Structure 1
Amino acid sequence: MTEVAKKVGQYVVLIVITVFACGVMWYVSSRGAGVHDEGAGVARPAVAARSKALVSVAAIRPEVTELTVKQSGKIRAWEDYSLGFETAGRVLELGLNDRGEPLDEGDQVQAGQMLARLDDRIYAARRAEAVANLEQAASDLRRDRRLFEQGRGALTEAEYQDTLTRQAVAKAQLEVATKNLEDSVLVSPVNGTISRRMIEAGESVAAHSTVFEVVENDNLLLVVDVPESRVRELEARMREVRQASSDNRTTDPEEKVFRARVHLEGRDAFGNRPPAIDAEVHQIAQVADDRTKLFEVEVRIDNSERLLRPGMVATAELVTKRILAYRVPDVAVMFRGGAAFLFTVREEPTPVEALFWQVGQADLRVANRVDLDQWVDQGEAIIVPAENLELRPVVTRGQQRLTDGQFVRVVNPDALHGASDADATASLPARGPAVASPEVK
């Protein structure tokens, strides 16, 4: 009887264990219901056990950003002067440069500085003769005036008028002789640089023939050709600048200047480009060129250091608008099916499970897709207006296979918390975009 009871007890224990195991299996399957792989019908693993995509992020923040139109052209002198003598003669001497040497091409000259002088002995003699004639005419006029005023018939009115005429002619001859003497010295009308010299001391020159060419290059002009599609945008900016200049309430100095940034095409011995030059749009042509059908835009460049030369090739970035926007690295934005979008990373509270129980919550990082309605391609960056848009740190690597809501692992977590504002924009140009922009998309 004891052995029977023992066997019955064993069966009961096995039944209890079996029932308990079935209950555990039912509990596990019920918890996995609704969170499963639809294709295979298998429950998904816990969040902590799921694989996470590795991504790299960059912190960005809204800042005043410039939209530009980029065009190339050639640098020209502000003004060109072709200078010659008003009178003919033989060149007696040339002016001297700062080194005490005769002026030559490339020498700088100041307004009023002598460039060359003719042999003026003949002109000086003619002026001395004109002075003597004028003094004689003045003496005759004084004598004839006394006689005419006596009224005794010693001098007729016609004779008195002849004396007046001779004095006027002598005065005019003195003025001509004085001008010819002054014209024997050629002076520079402006501060500039000699670009060509066509004479030597001792040579004879004809009147009005060009002997010097001087360029005014304290300021230079970069002339670029702009298509019709962008002229209205530039003209609108020019009017905004003029309005801001007349409005004393405008405190931002950049709003009062039609800013342009000039980049020279050459490179130094190490392959580096010269730094950008701050310039200003001077004038927009009112009529298109007959040959190219493009509009010339003149950009004024300060050349007080005389480092630039007319004829250089350069590229100008014309700042057409300044807006509050995000400068997103171009690698962060993807284009598919005509749509532009990017991924940001946010921290999302997620329950943590151990076996079958929730033991707490953890902030896991989740990818969030952001579709871009407006954007401007600036080459190294995509400009996204900040109005009604807030962008968290954007994914710059690993975003090609991301999906919205996917858990990610960030390889540079410092960027998530904005550890350094400089790091946020270190890969972007500080001022002035690098490539011409299309219209805002």
Structure 2
Amino acid sequence: MAFRGETVTVVEVRQGELRQSVVASGRVRTPLRIEMSAQIAGRVTEVGVREGDAVQPGQTLIRLDEREWEATVNQARAAVVQAESRLRQLQELGLPVAEQALRQAEANAVQATRNYQRVSELVTRGFYSQAQLDDALRAREVADSQLRSNRLQLASQQAGGSESELARSSLEQARAALAVAEARLGYATLRAPVSGTVLTRTVEPGDTVQPARALLTIAPLGETELTVQIDEKNLGLLKLGQLALASADAYPGEHFAAELIYIAPSVDALRGSVEVRLRVPEPPPYLKHEMTVSIDIETARREQTLIVPSEVVRGLDEGHPWVMVVRDGRTQRQAVRLGLRGTGSVEILEGVSQGDTLLPSTDDKPEGRAVRTRAAS
């Protein structure tokens, strides 16, 4: 009986608001990254940005030595001019000359045919010899051959003819070569494709670079995300759309809002965690890529419910929670059903009522002990 009436400190079951959350550390993540690399080999003559610089679309980032490519462009332009001149020559000079030559060949052929007929008649009458007739025949055949040749020459120089098409083909090839040369000249200057921020720079003026080597990494302007690894035991608490409050470790006094937008479909077996991502609709200006942040994801909230300090609940590890309640001056073990679990507090769904007094789990008095209660300060 020595312990009957011993005074104990108790905690009262009360009504109140309870917020359940998952807290973890993560990092600022840029959803997209653009790696800038050269498309041609060359020596770097200028690097116009540094890490952390903001860039605008079309801004010059890197220049390569472009003298060789400028010479190639000039050479290609000269070839285009030459091809254009050749085509124009065919149209303005070659075609009229061929037409005139054809008319002359037609006249010669008519004359040769008439002469052959006249000589043939005179040979029949005995005035000309067979040798003169043979000469007239050869002259007619030569004229006919010349006529056919001039007709082919004219056809080749007309639209759709072989020489005309060859000249046009040469012009198209020269223009294509110029386009390639101008494109390669353009490759000598790397420009920003979008607005963003330079994350990394791995090149300096004077470096010789090769195609496909990453020289700059740019984070485009857009949504900022937070990525965090959550213990898999909390996976059942997470849902898309849940709100969170985050703070950067470098600015612990500043907080900003975030929203859960992604839960990985698989669990990392080595770490026993699942990756989640949160969108930051209004990122503060001090937030930087890869910055460490603390994230508090609100998973549930009760405006009014029965709550007790977490320290009074026992048997959580065994899966059968209970509390030591003081009723009618004696300790009594009472099984309870828990609801939400907040920071330092838990929700009691069944087992106790508002106003009941509970012993902290650090007080190991057995069930049935007579006690006097004193409220915790």
Q: TM-score, normalised by structure 2?
A: 0.60
Residue 179 (structure 1) aligned to one of 177, 183, 198: 183
Deviations 1:84-143 (A, max 9, x none): 221223323232xxxxxxx32333333432212223333334334433433443454455
- How far apart in 1 are the matches of 2:234 and 2:12? 35
- How far apart in 1 are the matches of 2:84 and 2:234? 69
Larger helix fraction of residues = 2
**Contact 1:197/1:212 (<8 A) preserved:** yes
- Deviation at residue 407 of structure 1 after TM alignment: 9.7
Residue identity opposite 1:124 in structure 2: E
Instruction: Report what 1:335 is aligned to.
Output: 314
- Deviation at residue 170 of structure 1 after TM alignment: 2.0
SS at match of 2:215: strand
Instruction: Report what 1:353 is aligned to.
Output: none
**Contact 2:307/2:346 (<8 A) preserved:** yes
Residue identity opposite 1:127 in structure 2: V
Residue 172 (structure 2) aligned to one of 168, 172, 177: 168
Give the share of equivalent positions with the same residue, in percent: 22
- How far apart in 1 are the matches of 2:254 and 2:324? 32
Residue 382 (structure 1) aligned to one of 338, 342, 346: 346
Residue identity opposite 2:227 in structure 1: L
Larger radius of gyration: 2
Residue identity opposite 1:379 in structure 2: T
- Deviation at residue 410 of structure 1 after TM alignment: 7.3
Residue identity opposite 1:84 in structure 2: S
- How far apart in 1 are the matches of 2:236 and 2:343? 23
**Contact 2:21/2:343 (<8 A) preserved:** no
- Deviation at residue 183 of structure 1 after TM alignment: 1.6
Is 1:194 the counterpart of 2:198? The answer is yes
Is 1:223 the counterpart of 2:228? The answer is yes
Aligned residues, how many?
A: 306
- How far apart in 1 are the matches of 2:269 and 2:88? 67
Cα 1:410–1:85, aligned 2, differ >3 Å: closer, same or farther?
A: closer
Instruction: Report what 1:283 is aligned to.
Output: 262
SS at match of 2:190: strand
Residue identity opposite 1:130 in structure 2: A
Residue 68 (structure 2) aligned to one of 117, 122, 143: 122
**Contact 2:323/2:358 (<8 A) preserved:** no
1:232-247 correspondence runs (5 A) = 234=238, 237-238=239-240
List gaps (5 residues or longer) in structure 1. Answer: 1-38, 40-49, 96-102, 239-256, 346-368, 413-441
Instruction: Report what 1:107 is aligned to.
Output: 53
SS at match of 1:224: strand
SS at match of 2:31: strand
Cα 1:381–1:293, aligned 2, differ >3 Å: closer, same or farther?
A: closer
Residue identity opposite 2:181 in structure 1: A
- How far apart in 2 are the matches of 1:144 and 1:198? 55
- How far apart in 2 are the matches of 1:216 and 1:305? 16
SS at match of 1:79: coil
- Deviation at residue 384 of structure 1 after TM alignment: 4.4
**Contact 1:144/1:155 (<8 A) preserved:** no
Instruction: Report what 1:61 is aligned to.
Output: 16
- How far apart in 2 are the matches of 1:70 and 1:207? 45
**Contact 2:199/2:218 (<8 A) preserved:** yes
- Deviation at residue 184 of structure 1 after TM alignment: 1.5
Instruction: Report what 2:37 is aligned to.
Output: 84
List gaps (5 residues or longer) in structure 2. Answer: 100-150, 328-332
**Contact 1:332/1:342 (<8 A) preserved:** no
Deviations 1:348-379 (A, max 9, x none): xxxxxxxxxxxxxxxxxxxxx99642323323
C-alpha RMSD of the superposition: 4.8
Q: TM-score, normalised by structure 1?
A: 0.53
- Deviation at residue 279 of structure 1 after TM alignment: 1.8
Is 1:326 the counterpart of 2:305? The answer is yes
**Contact 1:81/1:214 (<8 A) preserved:** yes
- How far apart in 1 are the matches of 2:376 and 2:230? 46
